[in-house]
Each structure stands twice: as structure tokens, then as C-alpha cells.
Amino acid sequence: NSMDRGAWQATVHGVASRVLVASRHFANDATFEIKKCDLHRLEEGPPVTTVLTREDGLKYYRMMQTVRRMELKADQLYKQKIIRGFCHLCDGQEACCVGLEAGINPTDHLITAYRAHGFTFTRGLSVREILAELTGRRGGCAKGKGGSMHMYAKNFYGGNGIVGAQVPLGAGIALACKYNGKDEVCLTLYGDGAANQGQIFEAYNMAALWKLPCIFICENNRYGMGTSVERAAASTDYYKRGDFIPGLRVDGMDILCVREATKFAAAYCRSGKGPILMELQTYRYHGHSMSDPGVSYRTREEIQEVRSKSDPIMLLKDRMVNSNLASVEELKEIDVEVRKEIEDAAQFATADPEPPLEELGYHIYCNDPPFEVRGANQWIKFKSIS
């Protein structure tokens, strides 16, 4: 059960406070119908109904809300020029990161591209560390040297800037999983733009040939930067692009659908049948990055429509409220707590000092003894130690 410790404690406190306020009985769990996944080379797919417990529901809600608010805060900090460089936000895609995490174990592995803040959080890092890394401070998860695209955590291999390059890496991690024999799988994510990179097909071939426990996941948010999928791909059925690799197409805006599909895919891989491909159909509200307004290649109406009809947080909230798993007030309280957590983290990220200049040359090589690196001219030297 992969859960953020802070989120759990907050939920407990929240529940305790609510018991005092009103004695209202919530249902323990509820059964929901979820969309059937399109299948490729599979006889059966994930189940079409699932059970959501109150505890899980509150947890997912809190996590998704945290990711959402964290991304919006990053947007704010970027516009204030406290975050510089490149910043790719994933608001709208929360169901993907939280749903995937819900379907795997913390001991499983995950690697993705540069839209990675959500995954960094779900894989266990705190918002403080993430925001401090965005602002380039010491307290950041990569000591302030990685930035938005280079965040790493235990069993989370980043955070990769070059499009598509992380997919063969993911296949390699899957090989290690198989080799170590601990029943672990590797989730290897890429986007709809990256799906046309040659190295991805090389990875498909190797994974299928050697039956690696690799779940290839295409996060299809309909636009590769500014290019819509129809204009980039001869086949937009990304779940079929693995050809000989079975695939499923999942509604990426519904966290329960993602969770069930992930559980199904993980079970498939763990049984030794080889790799499987998942296409998550999702959407991002922001542009490709902070330098992209996001409206020159799509209409505001389209963005609005997705926000009003398919917003993942809204969908979960409606389900929970309508099935008496939680009350509106309760969820609002979670919102308030999350907001505070993000504010505190932003405060920290803004106030934390930058890494010292002496560390500029660290970690180039693994070296023993340390050596010197020349700076911009021959009188500036940095020590490089690891």
C-alpha cells in the first residue's frame, strides 16, 4: 500500500476532528463501474467494476489535490521568476501518477520523461523537496543541481530531458528486475510525441524477446508539444504500436480505471508473460512548458470542456460524495490542509539557500581521489569529488 506518510497522518487527524464535529456515518466502501479498456492481443482485460474504500478514496483525493496544487504553485513561482529554466507541469494528469502508484508496490520501479513532478511526489518525495529542487536550492531532491526535469527518488529513475531516451533505460531496469528475481516490475513511461522515436521500438523488441517485466506506458495527452497526435503519428492507436506486445487503452482521467489497468498489467508481467503496453488517454491543462501558452494549437473551449467534464479530481470527488464515502466539507478540509502544506513548502523553497559554488564540479565522475575541473578560464578551478 503505497502511501505518503504525511498524507496518512493528516487523514487520521482529519477524521478525528470530524468525528467531534458531526456524527455522520460514511460508507466503508463502494463499488463503481469503470470504462472497459480497448484490448490488443489480449483475451481479457482489467475488470469493469472496482471497489473503492473510503480510506483509499481519501488518500487518492489528497494525493491528487497535492499534485494539482503543487503544479499550480510551481506555475506561480515560475511567473515570479523564482523558478527559472524549464518547467513542465502535469496538472490534468493527476489520475495517471496517483493511479499508477495505486496499482504497484513501492518496491516496483518507475521511469518517465520530463513531466515528472507528479511522479516524484507519488514515488515518495515530499513537496518541500520537489519545490526546492525547482527553485534550485540545497534542500532540493537533487541538491539543486537537477531542476525540474531531473528529479529522482528510491525506485524512481527520473526525470529525463531527452525525449524517448528513457524507454530503453526502462527496459534495462526491467531486465534487472527479472534477473534479481524479486517479482518486481518496471513502469516505463513516455508521451505521445516520444512514441515516434526509433529507440522505443528497439526497446519493445528487446523486452518482448527476453520477456522482460516491463510495462510500457504511453501517456497520451493528445499533443506532443504543439503537434496534435493526428499530425504526428500514422497510427494514433498507441496501445497497438507495440505490435507483438499486448496492449490496453485506458481512460487516464479516471483514477480507478488507471488503478485497475495497472494492477492487471503488473499481474501480467509478474506472471512472466513478458512486457505489456498501456496507453493512458489523458490531458494537460497547461501548455507543454511554461514558455508555451498552450492555446495556439488548441482552443480554450477544448481545455474548458475537459476541465468541466473529465477533471480527474472532480470525477473522484463526485463519486465519493454520491456514494457517501465522504462529504463535501470533509474534502474541502483536505483542500485547506493541502493548500497549507504547499504554502509551507513554497516558503521553504524560496528561503532555502542555493547550493554553494564549490559544489559546481561535484559528481562528474566517481573519483577517488578528487580532481580539479577547469572553469570558464584557467584560473577558475572547481574541485570534483563524489
Partner 1 sequence: MAAVAAFAGWLLRLRAAGADGPWRRLCGAGLSRGFLQSASAYGAAAQRRQVAHFTFQPDPEPVEYGQTQKMNLFQAVTSALDNSLAKDPTAVIFGEDVAFGGVFRCTVGLRDKYGKDRVFNTPLCEQGIVGFGIGIAVTGATAIAEIQFADYIFPAFDQIVNEAAKYRYRSGDLFNCGSLTIRSPWGCVGHGALYHSQSPEAFFAHCPGIKVVVPRSPFQAKGLLLSCIEDKNPCIFFEPKILYRAAVEQVPVEPYNIPLSQAEVIQEGSDVTLVAWGTQVHVIREVAAMAQEKLGVSCEVIDLRTILPWDVDTVCKSVIKTGRLLVSHEAPLTGGFASEISSTVQYYRTQGHVPNKAKRWNLKKGLLQGSSKENGHLLLKMFCMTGQRIQRTKC
Give the residue, chosen from 14, 46, 118, 193, that forms a contact with partner 1 under the rule CB under 8 A: 193
Of 3 and 233, which has the nearer Cβ to partner 1? 233
Tell which one of 16, 22, 366, 376 touches partner 1 (CB under 8 A). Answer: 376
Nearer to partner 1 by Cβ, of 181 and 356: the residue is 356
Q: Which residues of 31-59 are buried (b: 16+ CB within 10 A; e: fewer)?
A: ebebbebbbbebeebbeeebebebbbbbb
Q: Is 246 helix (H, G, I), strand (E, B) or coil?
A: coil
Backbone angles phi, psi at 154, to 5 degrees: -65, 130
Give least dist CB 84 to partner 1, A: 5
Q: Which of 76, 31, 35 is nearest to 54 (CA)?
A: 31
Site string for partner 1, 304-343 (x = CB under 8 A): ----------------------------------------
CB 374, min distance to partner 1, A: 6
Q: Please tell me the distance from the alpha carbon of residue 63 to that of residue 83, in angstroms, as a whole number.
A: 23
| Footprint on residues 216-255 left by partner 1 (CB under 8 A) | 224-227, 231-233
| 67, 102, 163, 266: residue in contact with partner 1 (rule CB under 8 A) | 163
**CA dist., res. 272 & res. 320, Å (int):** 36
Nearer Cβ to partner 1, position 258 or 290? 290
Query: Closest by alpha carbon to 214, among 188, 195, 196, 237?
Result: 188
Per-residue DSSP letter, 207: H
How near is the Cβ of 232 to partner 1 at its closest, in Å? 5
Cell of 314: 472532480
Which residues within the stretch 62-121 sit at the binding site for partner 1 (CB under 8 A)? 84-86
Calpha distance 248→241 (Å, rounded)? 11
Contact between 296 and partner 1 by CB under 8 A: the answer reads yes
**Contact (Cβ atoms closer than 8 angstroms) between residue 126 and residue 249:** no
Closest CA to 140 of 90, 74, 187: 74
**Cα 95 from Cα 78, distance rounded (Å):** 24
Q: Any contact of residue 362 with partner 1 (CB under 8 A)? A: no
Cell of 147: 531542476
The residue within the footprint of partner 1, chosen from 197, 205, 323, 350 (CB under 8 A), is 197
Is 139 in a helix, a strand, or coil? Answer: coil
Residue 14 touches partner 1, criterion: CB under 8 A: no
Among 14, 57, 159, 164, binds partner 1 (CB under 8 A): 164
Q: How far is the CB of 121 from partner 1 (least distance, A)?
A: 22
Using the minimum distance from each CB to partner 1, give the nearer residue, 86 or 210.
86
Binding of residue 147 to partner 1 (CB under 8 A): yes
Q: How far is the CB of 252 from partner 1 (least distance, A)?
A: 20
Residues at the contact surface with partner 1, assessed by CB under 8 A: 84-86, 147, 149-150, 161-164, 193-194, 196-199, 224-227, 231-233, 296-297, 357, 374-381
